[in-house]
Structure 1
Amino acid sequence: MTRPIIGRVVPERWRTTGATAPGQRTVGEPGTARIAVDLLGGDQAPAVVVDGALRACRADPSLHLTLVGPADAADAVLAALKPGDRRRITTAITPTDTISGAVAAVAQGRADALVSAGDTRATVLAAARELGRWPGIRRPALTAVLPTVAGRVVLLDVGSSVDPDEETLAWHARLGAAYAAVVYQVPAPRVGLLTIGTEPGKGDRLRRALPNLLVDLPLPGGARYAGLVEGGDIVLGRAADVVVTDGFTGNVLLKGLETAYALTRPPSPDKTPPPRAALLLGVSGTVVVCHGAAAGPDLAAGIALAADLHRRASVAAIADLLRYSEVSHD
C-alpha cells in the first residue's frame, strides 16, 4: 500500500461549516468520500464547477466537498444547498493557484481525492510534487475509459506525456493493465499499442521500437501484449482492453471520439457510459482530471468517479498490484 504523503502548505483561508479544522488530518466516516474541487478549473469556471459540485452533492448524501477557490464561488454552492447539506461542505478560500490548493488538501489529509478541470500540466506537476510519484514513474499517465461496441477500453496517456520515450510507454502499459484489472476486474487484460496499421514496422520511430519491448514486458494482472491496434479497433473494442499511446495522440483521439459520441450516441451496450474524466496514475493519491471544456454534468461525473475510486481504494490496490511500497519526490 502506498504511504500517505504530507505536502507543503499553500496559503489559503479555511472556512468550515462543521468539518475539518485548519491543518488537522482526519479520516472520513466509513462510506464517506471527501473530494477537493478546484473551483477555478475549466474554460467556463467557476459557473460550471459550481453546477457540477451541486449536482454531485445532491446525488450522493455521503459526499463531502472541499471547495478550493474564491469566496463568491464557494458561497454560490452553499447558498443553493439545503441547510443540512451545507454541513458537508468545507471551503478553502484561495483566489489564485487553486490547483495547488486542491492538491494540498489531499496531501495534508483534509480530502481523500481531488477533481480539477484546470490546466493539465499544472495539475500533473502539482500532484507529482506534493503527493509523490511511484518509483520508476517519471511521467504519470492520464488514464481515460471509452465506450466501445464490445464494452469499454482503457486509453492512456490522454494528455500528460505528449512526447514520451519507450520506457515511459512501457510503464504506462503496466499502469493501464493494473487499472483494467483492479477497477474493471478484467481477467488477463489485453494491452495494445496504438499506431497507423497492424503490420509489423508500422508507425513512427517510437512505435517501431516499442513492440520488441512490450512482447517481453512482465505485465500485472496476468495481462499480455496483444500487438498493434488502429483507431477503429478502439471503437470496436475487440482487439485490446487497454490501449497505450503518447499523450498528444491520445488526447486528440479522446476528444474526437467523445465529440462524435455526443453528436450521435456511444457504441457501448452499457446503459451508463464511462465518465468524461481521466485518472492520473503514477502518483500517490486519487487525482481526477476533467476536460477544460467540461460542462456541469461532466464535473459531477468526475466527482462521482473520484468518490468511487476512493471508496474502493482503487489507487492503493493498483499500487499493490504493481508491488509499490513507497513514493518518490525526486
Structure 2
Amino acid sequence: MLVGPIEVADELIGALDPAQRARVTVRPVRTAVGMADHPTAARGESTVRTAVQAVHDGLADAVVSAGSTGATVTAAALGLGRWTGIRRPALAATLPAVEGPVVLLDVGGTLEPGPATLARHALLGAAYASVAHAVTAPRVGLLSVGHETGKGDRLRRAAAPALTAAPLPCDGRYVGLVEGYDISLGARADVVVTDGFTGNVLLKAIEGAYAMAGGPPSRGGAPRAAALLGVGGTVVVCHGAAGSEDVASGIALAAHLWRRDAAGTVRALLADIPPDPAPDRHDTEVAP
C-alpha cells in the first residue's frame, strides 16, 4: 500500500510491470509532514498518520517511512500506543561489525533522555537483538569516551548504575562502558545504548565512512533503516535522504520483523519487568 499524493503514487506505479502493479493499492492523502514541520503535525490527516492508522485497522502489517523521524515516532506512539513501562520509544539500527551485528539505539527517537530512559532502552535493545538477530545472551554496553568506570559526561555517569541494575531479558548482561570503535569491532558488546542525538550523529558518520571506503564490511549491509521499538506494531524508519535501495531495505526489514512477530515477542519478553520507580519525565523527543 502506498500512502501519499495520488500523482506521486501514479508515477511510482507507472514504473512497475503489470504483474507488480496488481499488488499495489493506493491510499490518497494530500498532506505530508515536511522535515521542517513540528512532529505534532502528524496528528492530523497526514501521510504518516494515515499509514499508521492502516496498521491499526488491520489494512497493513507494517509502516515504512522515509519522512520526518519525529512525525513518524509521534504518529506511531499515538496511533499504535506505547508499551507499558516504555515512555519513550527507541530507534534501533543494526550495524555490521567484524564479529557480528551490533544493535545501536537510540538513533533519533529521544534526543535528550534521562538515565532511566537509557536503562529502559537497554532492555529493548537486549530483547531486540535476541529476537531479530538470534543473539544469545546479548552483551549490552553504554557508549562513552572510555571504558573506565566514571568516564563520560553527567548523563553517562548517572546512567551507568541504572544499566548495571537493569533486569536485562534473554540472559543479557551489562558489560560497562564502550567506545565508538567497539561498535565497528563487535567484540565487546552486541547492543550499544546511547542518547538519540549522539546515536543519530554516529550513525550518519558511519554511513559516510562506508561511502568513503566503498561499502560496509563484507559480513553485513549498511544500516539503511531502523526499527522503532516500544510501540504496538511494526514500524521502520528510513533515512530522510533515502534512495530506492534504502527504501527497499526498509521494506525488507519490516517484512522480516513482521514475520517473526518481533514487536509482539519483544513486548512479551519485557512483560514481567517491573515499572521504573523513578522514570524520567523531562526527556526531549526528536525534532524534525
Q: Which TM-score applies when normalising by structure 2? A: 0.87
Q: For residues 28-177 of structure 1, what are the structure 2 equivalents within 5 Å?
A: 66-96=1-31, 97-177=46-126
Find runs of 4+ consecutive structure 1 residues off by over 3 angstroms: 265-269
Equivalent in 237, 254, 276 of residue 306 of structure 1: 254
Paired amino acid for 2:17 = K
SS at match of 1:221: coil
CA distance in 2, matches of 1:305, 1:129: 22
Distance 1:265 1:241, change over 3 A: farther
Distance 1:226 1:266, change over 3 A: farther
> Is contact 1:115-1:288 (8 Å) kept?
yes
- Aligned length, in residue pairs: 259
Of the structure 1 ranges 248-257 and 100-109, higher mean CA displacement relative to structure 2 is found in 100-109
Equivalent in 167, 185, 208 of residue 236 of structure 1: 185
- Deviation (angstroms), 1:267: 5.3
Paired amino acid for 1:220 = P
Q: For residues 203-218 of structure 1, what are the structure 2 equivalents within 5 Å?
A: 203-218=152-167
Instruction: Show CA shifts across 1:6-39 (max 9, x none).
Output: xxxxxxxxxxxxxxxxxxxxxxxxxxxxxxxxxx
CA distance in 2, matches of 1:106, 1:298: 22
SS at match of 2:112: coil
Q: Percent identity?
A: 60
CA root-mean-square deviation: 1.4
1:287 corresponds to: 235
| 1:264 correspondence with 2:213 | yes
CA distance in 1, matches of 2:159, 2:92: 19
1:33 corresponds to: none
SS at match of 1:143: strand
Q: Which runs of 5+ in 2 are unaligned?
A: 32-45, 274-288
CA distance in 2, matches of 1:78, 1:234: 39
Q: Which runs of 5+ in 1 are unaligned?
A: 1-65, 326-330
SS at match of 1:183: helix
CA distance in 2, matches of 1:134, 1:300: 28
- Deviation (angstroms), 1:318: 1.0
SS at match of 2:113: coil
1:10 corresponds to: none
SS at match of 2:110: coil
- Deviation (angstroms), 1:268: 3.2
Q: Which TM-score applies when normalising by structure 1? A: 0.76
CA distance in 2, matches of 1:309, 1:150: 22
